[in-house]
């Protein structure tokens, strides 16, 4: 039972933060940090989906490296 109560409280706080500061959930750096945390700890699939739903599509998009910024002698694998 405490897990359900804690879950609801945390969800409510996150929703409040998103309403008040929606720009926070548009930041790619926060999204990447959250993904790293979710790699380490175990969360139910439904919780993972709810966390991902908080972020804007902009934050979820992987930045594209312009072709002009890759030198001729550099392989693609070296860029990642």
pLDDT tens for each residue of 17-40: 999 998 999 999 999 999 999 999
78 has pLDDT over 60: no
Tokens found for residue 40: 């380490």
Q: Which of 30, 1, 5, 25 is nearest to 15 (CA)?
A: 25
Query: What crossing angle do the helices spanning 45-54 and 28-40 adopt, rounded to 10°?
Result: 170
Q: What's the whole-number mean pLDDT along residues 34-62?
A: 90
Query: Would the pLDDT of 1 be above 50?
Result: no
């Amino acid at each position: 039972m405490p897990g359900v109560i804690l879950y609801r409280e945390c969800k409510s706080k996150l929703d409040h933060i998103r309403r008040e500061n929606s720009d926070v959930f548009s930041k790619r750096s926060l999204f990447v940090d959250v993904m790293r945390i979710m790699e380490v700890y175990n969360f139910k699939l439904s919780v993972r989906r709810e966390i991902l739903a908080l972020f804007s599509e902009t934050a979820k998009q992987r930045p594209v490296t312009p072709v002009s910024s890759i030198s001729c002698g550099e392989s693609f694998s070296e860029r990642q």
